[in-house]
Amino acid sequence: MRANFKLQRLFLDTPLSEGTKVPLGKDQAHYLLNVLRMNEGQEVLVFNGREGEYLAALAPSGKKAADLLIGEQTRPQPAEARLDFLFAPLKVGRLDYIVQKATEMGARRIIPVFTDHTQLHKVNEARLAANILEAAEQCGNLAIPELGAPVKFDALLESWDPARRIIFCNESQAGDNPTDILNGIEERDLALLVGPEGGFSERERARLTALSHVTAIPLGPRILRADTAAVAALTAVQMTIGDW
């Protein structure tokens, strides 16, 4: 089944099953009762990232409190995504954008990576997690990408499992079209690594290209902003060897 975008979607961090009643937290109750002005019996779609999506009916229990009565399952939980998204943090507005797009485009795990040219040296992990959750609610995803702890570039490579191939966007890679390179990759447990404004340093590119479990791809003839490159690369990977 496809997502029903006519109904409000809500993430609930609780087990879900037909016939159960789930009390809403203060913020979620306020949102449904006072922001959306929903009435008793009106329906929403709920998911927890583990057990699929369910129809649920609102049951107010006061001016500021409400429960949800869980009805039938509308979609089962899909298989776990197989693409990790590794990115150098950008300026705050673009940082929010890039995390939202990675969520919408099916990332399994999202990990900030501090590279030589990264302009930010600290990220607000709570803000990133909130952006991931909001994007999943809005786009119809049933899975919530895991937000990995921020890590330095060298530490990432030193601890990386070589069974999961890393694809990295290399502005100095010969050619314009990544399709042939991507189609030659046999693994399906993958990670996409996107650099910061200014790209990877020469040192970083040399270290990446020396690893047998790393593949470099170009992203066309034009110079792209880092956030644009991230979306372009995610699209290319998902359409050729991903889950689209």
Domain extents in the chain: 9-75, 83-240
Q: Please report which confidence band the pLDDT of residue 174 belongs to, taking 50, 70 and 90 as the band edges.
A: low
Mean pLDDT value of segment 169-187: 85
Average pLDDT, the chain: 92
Q: Tell me the residue type at 16.
A: L
State pLDDT tens for residues 33-74: 999 999 999 999 999 999 999 999 999 987 789 999 999 999
Rg (alpha carbons) of the chain, rounded to whole number = 20
Say which CATH superfamily domain 83-240 falls into: SPOUT methyltransferase, trefoil knot domain (3.40.1280.10)
State pLDDT tens for residues 3-15: 555 899 999 999 9
State pLDDT tens for residues 150-166: 999 999 999 999 999 99
Question: How many percent of the chain have pLDDT more than 90?
Answer: 82
DSSP H helical segments within 50-209, as ranges?
92-104, 125-139, 153-159, 179-183, 202-209
Whole-model pTM over 0.85: yes
pLDDT for position 2: 47
CA distance linking residue 27 with residue 33, whole number of Å: 10
Query: What are the b/e assignments for 190-210, b being 16+ CB within 10 Å?
Result: bbbbbbbeebbeeebbeebee
Residue 215 corresponds to which tokens in the numbers above? 């593949």
Does 1.10.645.10 match the CATH number of domain 9-75? no
- Residue ranges of E strands in the chain: 9-11, 21-23, 43-47, 53-60, 66-75, 83-87, 109-114, 146-147, 151-152, 165-169, 190-194, 214-217
CA distances in angstroms from 48 to 17, 32, 66, 213, listed in the order given: 11, 18, 18, 34
State pLDDT tens for residues 205-233: 999 999 999 999 998 888 888 899 999 99
CA distance linking residue 83 with residue 53, whole number of Å: 22
pLDDT for position 1: 46
pLDDT of 173 over the 70 cut: no
Q: Please report which confidence band the pLDDT of residue 84 belongs to, taking 50, 70 and 90 as the band edges.
A: very high
